[in-house]
Each structure stands twice: as C-alpha cells, then as structure tokens.
Amino acid sequence: MNKKIIYGGLILLAIFFQLSFLPIFVGSKLLGDAVLMLVLALAVIDGFGLTLGWSVVAGALYDFASYATFGQHVIIFLLAVYVVSFFSRRLSVEVRGTGLLMFFLFIIIVTIISDAMLVAFFVFGGKSVRLFFQVFGNFGLVTFQVMCNSLLFFLWFNIIKKIKKKFL
C-alpha cells in the first residue's frame, strides 16, 4: 500500500515536473523526459516484473495529462522497461564502473527509442516525417536531450533509492 502511494505520487510529481516546471525553467526547445527517466530508474531498481504495471500506469497518466493520443506513452515506457530487462540479463553490471556505463547505455537507447516512437506516431498521425526530423534529427539537440535525461535519471535514481531505504 505504502509503495503504491509513493510510486503513484512519484509518477504524478514527474508529470507535473515535465509539463509545468521544465518548459519554463529550462526554456529550451528540446527537454529531457522526466517521466520516461522515472520509469527507467524504477526498472533499473525494481526489475521488469515489478515495473511493468507501473510503466502502464505512468504512460496512461502521462497521455491523459499531456493531451497525447491515449496509449502512445504506454508503449514507449513498456519498451523502455523491456530494454532494461533485455540488456541487464546479457551484460554484466558486476564489474566496478560498468554499472554506470550500463546506465548511460540505457539512457541513450531509451531516448532514441522514445524519439523513434514519437516519429512513428507523428507519421501515423498523417504528419510529415521531414519536419519532425528538422526538429529531432539534429545530433546536437539529441545529445543535449541525452544529457538532460542523464541528469533526470540520476536524480530519480537517488530519490527512489533514498525513499526505498527510508520507507519501503
């Protein structure tokens, strides 16, 4: 019960942060994705089985709050959780230092998957892929997005770790 309230609260907090705080605070054209990074942090900490349900909840709430077509962020978050599970099993995180590299790998892959899925939904919605790539196809901007996502990931990662230590 405690966990449900805390995780639910964290998801809502991430949504407020993404929609109402970051756009005006950073004021940049491309921002990190706070909700995606929260789901990624949960997947890294709790694993596939415990995060699958939360990724669906987070995606659904994010779609509601961001006026997006219902379901699109659910799919993106599901893929993010699966990516973590897929690579965690195949690559070692035991060797000192490689854990951090793994996290960066997750962030890069998940950021690219998220952008690719958004392109897919964009094209599916009858919009031009050319214009989308004018916005997202810039390597510098994608790098900036990965950097923002890295910051957000480690922020969430530490918050969840501390919460789990104290309350769960």
**Interface contacts to other proteins, rule CB under 8 A:** 12, 15-31, 33, 48, 52, 56, 59, 61-62, 64-67, 69-72, 74-75, 78-79, 81-82, 85, 118, 121, 124, 127, 131-132, 134-135
CB of 145 to other proteins, least distance (A): 9
75 or 108, CB closer to other proteins?
75
CB of 118 to other proteins, least distance (A): 7
Measured distance CA(31)–CA(14) in Å, rounded? 13
CB of 165 to other proteins, least distance (A): 26
Measured distance CA(44)–CA(114) in Å, rounded? 17
80 or 165, CB closer to other proteins?
80
Q: Which residue has the tokens 């035991």?
A: 94
Contact status, residue 31 vs residue 136, Cβ threshold 8 Å = no
CB of 42 to other proteins, least distance (A): 15
101 or 135, CB closer to other proteins?
135
Q: Which residue has the tokens 């995780």?
A: 7
* Nearest CA among 48, 72, 39, 33 for reference residue 152: 33
Measured distance CA(153)–CA(7) in Å, rounded? 15
DSSP line for 38-92: HHHHHHHHH-HHHHHHHHHHHHHHHHHHTTPPTTHHHHHHHHHHHHHHHHHHHS-
124 or 167, CB closer to other proteins?
124
CB of 101 to other proteins, least distance (A): 23
